[in-house]
Chain A
Amino acid sequence: KAGVTQTPRYLIKTRGQQVTLSCSPISGHRSVSWYQQTPGQGLQFLFEYFSETQRNKGNFPGRFSGRQFSNSRSEMNVSTLELGDSALYLCASSLRLAGSSYNEQFFGPGTRLTVL
């Protein structure tokens, strides 16, 4: 079974631009979550999508947005990029089974975004 894939793996942008990152979950997984990882703040939750609806949201400004398609693939968009947005962006997928305490999150390799 293929794992979580993220594209692109590396990206360089300049301040003020916008960027779109893509995440393809494991087949059959309907939940996709996004995280930002920086040396200073560590791993921080951005948002989660399930059945094309945002279900959870972290504490990030509105410049960070996402969406999920009917095939469960998800995209994350960051508008008006700032230097501080340079980070590793990780997505994770899960089955999100009701009544389960498990719901293991499977992470992709991440997209390394550099903002100049």
Chain B
Amino acid sequence: DAKTTQPNSMESNEEEPVHLPCNHSTISGTDYIHWYRQLPSQGPEYVIHGLTSNVNNRMASLAIAEDRKSSTLILHRATLRDAAVYYCILRDGGNQGGKLIFGQGTELSVKP
């Protein structure tokens, strides 16, 4: 399974945008980039995923580099509720299974 690298922690101010980076230099052509987050005392939850093009949903945006060796999760206006550990995960598009390989993730703290 391809590996991802994320900063251990980041800080943000409430209502400001947050850019969470992820490096995945060994990504293969069939790997999708998924993001999950884990709020305190909860199980992880899905945030967004993409293959090549940038993606937007109600929670966040995902910007994928042209060479796909890195990506950035963008929270447009951070709230206190966005304080969580964010995980960047690669999933083989041909693998429909439930196996997720979590790295250490980025712990995001949001200051009021």
Instruction: Tell me the B31-56 residues at the A interface (CB within 8 Å).
Output: 32, 36, 38, 41-46, 49, 51
A31-46 vs B: 1/0 string, CB under 8 Å? 1110100000011110
B97 on interface, CB distance cutoff 8 Å: yes
Q: Can you report 25 A-B residue pairs in the complex whose CB atoms are below 8 A from each other?
A: A32-B98, A33-B100, A35-B100, A35-B102, A42-B102, A42-B105, A43-B87, A43-B100, A45-B99, A45-B100, A50-B98, A55-B98, A56-B98, A92-B43, A92-B98, A92-B100, A96-B96, A100-B96, A101-B51, A105-B36, A105-B98, A108-B43, A109-B41, A109-B42, A110-B43
B17 on interface, CB distance cutoff 8 Å: no
**Is B97 within 8 A of A31, CB to CB?**
yes
- Whole-angstrom CA separation of A102 from B100 in the bound complex: 12
User: With A90-B43, A92-B43, A110-B43 known to touch, is A105 a contact of B102 (CB < 8 Å)?
Assistant: no
Taking CB as reference atom, which chain A residue is nearest B103? A42
**Is A56 within 8 A of B97, CB to CB?**
yes
- Whole-angstrom CA separation of A96 from B96 in the bound complex: 6
Taking CB as reference atom, which chain B residue is nearest A56? B99
Number of A-B contacts defined by CB within 8 Å: 76
Interface residues of B (CB under 8 A from A): 32, 36, 38, 41-46, 49, 51, 87, 91, 93, 96-105
Query: Chain B residues near A97 (CB, 8 Å)?
Result: 96
